[in-house]
Structure 1
Amino acid sequence: MGTSDTQPDAIIIGGGHNGLTSAFYLARAGMKVRVLEARHVVGGAAVTEEFHPGFRNSVASYTVSLLQPRVIADMGLVERGYRVIERPVSNFLP
């Protein structure tokens, strides 16, 4: 890896919203953190993806609505563009 200055104090496996939140708090506590993610994009269930040209859908962002208000404030997510969009219609997937 190199010298001890470049070695992380913590390694987070998975760059989903839980991994990123953990990395944030560890880094804020002064730790050097490395996040490893297998996909080309981070965010996990908080990702919106294009499933057909011109059509985008949340992969499971309903779980992000469970994000604690304190986490949203601590991370300054609203200032970084975070917003919850509530749908007037629910999905039905038999």
Structure 2
Amino acid sequence: MDELGLTVEGIINKTQKLVLRNRQLKEKITNLETDQEQLRKQLNEQAARIQQMEEKMANNHLTFLLGKNDSLQARQKVNELLREIEKCYALLNR
């Protein structure tokens, strides 16, 4: 009978450990899902920012071609926008 009691206690302890581990894993999943959602938001924001920068770059390029700006200023602005776009791509690729 004593052996049976020890076996039951062992099963109860193992069950409690499994329940605790299950709770921990569920919490970890919830945290990871939250992190994933935040990263998706950041990704979407960065993609929108890249789109805006590409549009700005196209507008500046058109202005440059039409000769409304000094060519040096236009070139500097285009280079600046390209650097911003490259930074955004680097952030997206992290």
> In which range does the TM-score fall when normalised by the shorter chain?
under 0.3
Q: Which has the higher contact order (CA 8 A, sep 6+)?
A: 2
TM-score (norm. length: structure 2):
0.26
The structure with the largest strand share of the pair is 1
The structure with the largest helix share of the pair is 2
TM-score (norm. length: structure 1):
0.26
